[in-house]
Amino acid sequence: MEQILRPIYQERASSPETLGVILIEKRWPGDPITDTFDEIMLIITTNEETPIYTKHYTDGTGKAAMHVISEKQLRKWLLLGTKRKVVDWLFYGKVFFDRNEFVEGLKNELKEYPFYGRKIKMGLELSRLVRVYMEGKMFFEQLNYMDAYQHAIQSLHHLARLTVIEKGFSPEVTVWSQVKKIDPAIYKLYEELIMSEEPIEKRLELLFLASEFFIHNRTLDGARHIMDVMAEKETWAIQELHEHEELQIYSINLEVLIEFLIEKGFIEIVESDSKNEYVFHREYRVEP
């Protein structure tokens, strides 16, 4: 397939808008890194009119996919961690074209992990962790153990990612092998949950008890991004927080994160008068 794709990526590379061309080959049958295709051709461009453009090809025996991605879209995926396989593509693909070493620079950025990007990612993981942990604990208290187990697995996954990000690494690739080296205690907790022969309710009880400690120790750093944003002015209405450009990425988890940070003493409630003398507006500020 590579020989067949060569004229396509050569044509793309000749465009002044193209920043990089990367070819990713499958490693084994049904390889998820290539979405079961034999090859993936990733083309990064400065053109933002169509942030994502995809085509599929075949030579009758094999199949390939071409993804043309704008730099802005790619950076958004990398920042939010919403397309984890893209990191695999960048690191494991063959670079066939690299205008002004753009791809090499991007890979170095990911390795070095700028602090600002780390704060946002930690905030996102904390918000996801808090939601699934609280929902899982509720299911556990209601004796819905299978639903609680599913949420416990998810919460450990977010805790693992949060831990890796905290250390300045990317959690996109083999997160549990990373956690085993970075924080063996969290790895052990995961191992106990999925491999222990204890009854499921005992495993869950241990998990939710221990998770309180791990979440507590990471709350301050995980909340740093939202607290820095909120420090820009004295008080915030919830709608103002939802509309802030940097906080929109928290989406449905924003309000549960706010309530969690109130409970932990990082954010305080400010009451202000409304048109109804019996009801107050509820606003928020960072604890001074």
What does the domain layout of the chain look like in residue ranges?
Answer: 2-111, 113-218, 223-288
pLDDT band at 229 (very low <50, low <70, confident <90, very high): very high
Average pLDDT over the chain, rounded to an integer = 90
Which is it for the CA torsion 28, 29, 32, 34, positive or negative?
A: positive
Q: Which amino acid does the sequence have at 162?
A: L
pLDDT score of 286: 93
Listing DSSP states for 15-81 in one string gives STTEEEEEEEE-SSTT-GGGTT-SEEEEEEES--SSSEEEEEEE-SS-EEEEEEEEHHHHHHHHHHT
Alpha carbon 5 to its chain centroid, in Å, reads 32
User: How far is 180 from 40, CA to CA, in rounded Å?
Assistant: 31
Give the Cβ contact number of residue 54 at 10 Å.
Answer: 9
The answer to whether residues 246 and 116 touch, using CB atoms and an 8 Å cutoff, is no
Condensed to tens digits (0 to 9), the pLDDT of residues 159-215 reads 999 999 888 887 766 789 999 999 999 999 999 999 999 999 999 999 999 999 999
Q: Are strands 39-45 and 63-70 parallel, antiparallel or unpaired?
A: parallel
Condensed to tens digits (0 to 9), the pLDDT of residues 212-226 reads 999 999 999 999 999
Please give the angle made by the CA atoms of 126, 130 and 136, to the nearest 5 degrees: 140
The answer to whether residues 97 and 17 touch, using CB atoms and an 8 Å cutoff, is no
Condensed to tens digits (0 to 9), the pLDDT of residues 15-66 reads 999 999 999 998 888 778 888 899 999 999 999 888 999 999 998 888 999 9
User: How far is 193 from 210, CA to CA, in rounded Å?
Assistant: 11
Segment 125-143 shows an average pLDDT of 96
pLDDT band at 157 (very low <50, low <70, confident <90, very high): very high
pLDDT score of 2: 73
For domain 113-218, say whether CATH 2.60.40.10 is its number: no
pLDDT score of 114: 52
Say which CATH architecture domain 2-111 belongs to.
2-Layer Sandwich (3.30)
User: How far is 59 from 142, CA to CA, in rounded Å?
Assistant: 56
- Give 210-245 as a 3 state SS string: HHHHHHHHHHHHHCHHHHHHHCCCCCECHHHHHHCC
User: How far is 84 from 79, CA to CA, in rounded Å?
Assistant: 10
Is 265's pLDDT higher than 60? yes
The answer to whether residues 23 and 41 touch, using CB atoms and an 8 Å cutoff, is yes
Token look-up 């740093």 returns 224
pLDDT score of 172: 62
Class of 223-288 in CATH: mainly alpha
Q: Which residue has the higher pLDDT, 32 or 105?
A: 105
Is 272's pLDDT higher than 90? no
**Residues β-bridged to residue 44:** 20, 69
- pTM score of the predicted model: 0.75
